[in-house]
Structures are given as C-alpha cells and as structure tokens.
C-alpha cells in the first residue's frame, strides 16, 4: 500500500482563505495527500496568503525563511505560496525565495494537482492567471467525511468597487457570482455531513447576482432558498458593502428566521471628505440611514464594522466625524486599523500621515469601540439566546459555542451537546465572551 503524502496548509487572513484552504486540501487529496497539523511532518507545505494587512508580503517572506531548515532536512519537501500575495508578487516570489516550488493565485488553485506534479518532477510551477473556466466546476464534489457543525461557503468572489486603499480588485479580479444551483448542492452536501450553520462568503457578498433556474438571483433570494434545506438551522453572510444592501436583503433580516441577527457592514470612516477620497461612493448620512432601516427590520440585530484611521489627508475634524458616527451606530463588534499603503493602489501614492498621529487616533477609536462591545455584552445578561456548541471549553465540563449574535458563550454541560443548538440563559459577561446555563425545558 502506498503511504499517503502529508500536506500542511497555513492560512492567513479572511474566512474566504479558510474556505479556499479547505478546497486546496480536497484538490490535493486526489493526488494522494492527507492533511497534517504540523509542518515538520509534511511532504508539502502551502502558505495561503492574504494581502489586506500591513506588510503582508514581508511576513510571507519571513515565514518562508523559517521553512529553510525544514527544506534542508528534507530536500523532497515541496513548498507552495497561494492566495493574494501569490497573485500580487507572482514570479518575484520564485526569484526571491528559491526554496519555493510553486506559486498559485486564488483563481487558479483548482490547478494545484497539475502544479504539484510539475514541482514534484523538479520544475518550478507558476499560475497567477485569471482562467476562463470556473474553478469550482473543476474542483468537483467535496469528500463525504463528517465535519463540524459550522462551515463557510463561497458564493461570490472579486470586487468592482476599487476603494482607493484596497488590493482586492487586483488580486481577486472582477465580481463574479456562482450559479445558485451549485451553491444549493454544496450546501445540501454540507448539511448531509453534519453542518447546521453556513456562512456565505464573498469579497462583496451582497453584490451576489448568480444564475438561478428562473433568472438572476440576488443574495436575499439565495438565502431564502437555502433556508428551505432541511437541517440547515442557521445562515450568515460576510463581507458586505453598504451600496449593495438592497431592499429585499434588508427585509430578509426581518422575515427569515434562519438568517442570524448579526451583520458585518464596514463603513471605514465617518467623514464624507475621507469617504470620497476612499472612493466609497456613499456618505456617512447614507450609512446611518441604512443602519436605521436594517434595525427597523430586525431590532435585535448586532452590527459590526471596519474602520481605517490615518487615511491620507485625514484631519482631526475628519477623525472626530468617525468618532461621532461610532457613537451614533453603537457597534456590538468592530475591527479598526491604521492605514497602511498597499502598492499599486491610488492611496499609496498620496502623502502619508505620521505614525504617531495614526497610533493615537487608533487607540482612541479602539477605546470607544471596546466600550461599546462591553456594553453590548452586558446587555445580554438575563436574556435567553440560541447557542450552537462547537468545542470543549478550557475548563473541565465546559463547552463553548456561538450565540445567534456571534458572541462566544460558555456553559457547564456534557460533551453530548457538542454539535447541537440549545437555548441558553446568559448569566455573566466578560470583555470577549458570555457565560450561561442551559435554559429549562
């Protein structure tokens, strides 16, 4: 019997990369690979990279440097770089790091078996094209192994918005939506393997407009059809753009019980001047009005968002406008970052703010956002919510799951609750999690 080769994938960045890593493992499984949890045990290592955060390429090169010892100890070890840094850097990675055997962009990873075979023969392999064929068609069906109760499912890729700070249109390409029938088939397959909750993914997921059996479907129609799948208890989606929040999607938050009361809707700034410089094509007033409509449809919804501080040209007044917007929205969760230039994007060519100014503004914004998150956590005490239990807790006899609002909840209960949804009464809060007890009945 042939001993299977072992594959280690290190995933950086967003949930879409988590999904992509799963599909890469499945694609290479057809070439005889099984996954391993340690790079030391691997016959092939793939770094699935993200280009969103600061100095992303440098971090990848640093990681590759750490792999030199493994390559020296095992000359047959193959090392690949995938994802958005691979797309952006291309052949430069092979030139700068000779230990790399293959480089593949996020739209071409269905070709991994061919690239791996080329690398295994001793040749360098590079594919950063935007192929005409649909990679999801080429990937085929997913293995039937049982899996945990939650899963990601990519429905849309790419972005046409061209925000001045963002590399996604250059690394992931134009917006493209998968046909609805294929998404429904993949969702049914996931449910058959034990999945109760699916998060729909896209760089701009609410721009989804996929081919349906009776015309083009938007995200709301897709969600409603997914909700009809027996055994699929929960639906979420991320990440959204305010300009694509259509009326029927807002309505779905109120009339589709499977769609959880949580929405990640980035705004990036509260200053109209900075929003225009970012090429966001909406104003702060537009965003606030949209939040009002969403909360009217689903009053208990928890709103999350993203903010960039220190964008080129941001003044004290611009930053205070962001703080004012945050106070008005009252976020339950949020992510905030200092602006950092991305080569090839318009904002990278503009005059940059001093780092100490960026750091001061970020600290002030994060203090406000943290206070709002803690307030949202305290407001849950005494309420009864649904919790999907996913894993054992840190303490014996404890299990942990996610609430309807995507908040971490831990309770004292037996392992037989793992993979199940229960009603939980929230009894206490900490900054990053909630404690509760199983509700009677």
**Which of 402, 395, 440, 397 lies closest to 421 in space, CA to CA?**
402
Contact present, 124 and 102 (Cβ < 8 Å): yes
Structure tokens at 36: 């391993």
Give the C-alpha distances (Å, rounded to integers) separating 17 from 20, 40, 159, 432: 5, 22, 16, 24
Taking the C-alpha atoms of residue 312 and residue 353, their distance in angstroms, rounded to an integer, is: 6
**Which of 263, 188, 264 lies closest to 225 in space, CA to CA?**
188
| 267 Cβ contact list (under 8 Å, min separation 6) | 242, 275, 280, 284, 287, 305, 306, 307, 325
Per the annotation, does 256 bind a ligand?
A: no
Contact present, 52 and 14 (Cβ < 8 Å): yes
Segments of 105-207 assigned E as strands = 125-127, 150-154, 156-157, 176-177, 197-201
Q: What is the DSSP string of 93-155?
A: HHHH-TT--EEE-TT-GGGHHHHHHHHHTT--EEE----SS-HHHHH-SPP-----SEEEEE-
Taking the C-alpha atoms of residue 373 and residue 28, their distance in angstroms, rounded to an integer, is: 41
Structure tokens at 427: 């009894």
Contact present, 369 and 379 (Cβ < 8 Å): no
Which residue is associated with the tokens 């849950």? 380
Taking the C-alpha atoms of residue 34 and residue 397, their distance in angstroms, rounded to an integer, is: 32
Strands 398-403 and 384-392: antiparallel
Per the annotation, does 334 bind a ligand?
A: no
Which residue is associated with the tokens 């030199």? 68
| 169 Cβ contact list (under 8 Å, min separation 6) | 158, 159, 160, 161, 162
Contact present, 255 and 224 (Cβ < 8 Å): no
Q: Which residues are annotated as a binding site?
A: 14, 50, 84, 159, 163, 166
Q: Which residues are annotated as a binding site for [4Fe-4S] cluster?
A: 14, 50, 84, 159, 163, 166
């Amino acid at each position: 019997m042939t001993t299977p080769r072992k594959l280690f994938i290190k995933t950086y960045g967003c949930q879409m990369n988590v999904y992509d890593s799963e599909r890469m493992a499945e694609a290479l499984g057809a070439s005889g690979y099984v996954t391993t949890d340690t790079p030391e045990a691997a016959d092939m290592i793939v770094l699935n990279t993200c280009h969103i955060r600061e100095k992303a390429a440098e971090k990848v090169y640093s990681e590759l440097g750490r792999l030199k010892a493994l390559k020296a100890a095992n000359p047959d070890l193959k090392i690949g770089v995938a994802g958005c840094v691979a797309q952006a850097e291309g052949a430069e990675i092979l030139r700068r790091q000779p230990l790399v055997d293959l480089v593949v962009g996020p739209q071409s990873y269905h070709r991994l078996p061919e690239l791996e075979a080329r690398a295994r023969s001793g040749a360098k392999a590079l594919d950063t094209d935007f192929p005409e064929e649909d990679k999801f068609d080429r990937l085929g069906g997913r293995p039937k192994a049982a899996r945990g109760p939650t899963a990601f499912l990519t429905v849309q890729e790419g972005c046409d918005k061209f925000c001045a700070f963002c590399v996604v249109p250059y690394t992931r390409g134009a917006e493209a939506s998968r046909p609805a029938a294929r998404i429904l088939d993949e969702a049914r397959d996931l449910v058959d393997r034990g999945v109760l909750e699916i998060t729909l993914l896209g760089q701009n997921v609410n721009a989804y407009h996929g081919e349906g059996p009776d015309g083009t479907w938007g995200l709301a129609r897709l969600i409603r059809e997914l909700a009809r799948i027996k055994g699929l208890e929960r639906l979420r989606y991320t990440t959204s753009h305010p300009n694509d929040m259509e009326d029927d999607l807002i309505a779905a938050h109120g009339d589709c019980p499977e769609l959880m009361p949580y929405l990640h809707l980035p705004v990036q700034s509260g200053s109209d001047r900075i929003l225009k410089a970012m090429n966001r094509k909406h104003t702060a007033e537009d965003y606030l009005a949209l939040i009002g409509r969403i909360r009217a449809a689903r009053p208990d919804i928890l709103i999350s968002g993203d903010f960039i501080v220190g964008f080129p040209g941001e003044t004290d007044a611009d930053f205070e406008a962001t703080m004012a917007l945050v106070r008005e929205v009252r976020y339950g969760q949020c992510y905030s970052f200092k602006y950092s230039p991305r080569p090839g994007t318009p904002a990278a060519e503009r005059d940059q703010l001093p780092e100490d100014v960026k750091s001061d503004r970020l600290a002030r914004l994060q203090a406000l956002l943290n206070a709002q998150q803690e307030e949202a956590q305290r407001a849950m005490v005494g309420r009864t919510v649904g919790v999907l239990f996913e894993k054992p807790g840190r303490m014996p006899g404890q299990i942990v799951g996610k609430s309807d609002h995507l908040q971490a909840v831990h309770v004292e209960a037996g392992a037989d609750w793992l993979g199940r949804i229960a009603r939980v009464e929230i009894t206490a809060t900490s900054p990053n999690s909630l404690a509760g007890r199983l509700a009677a009945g």
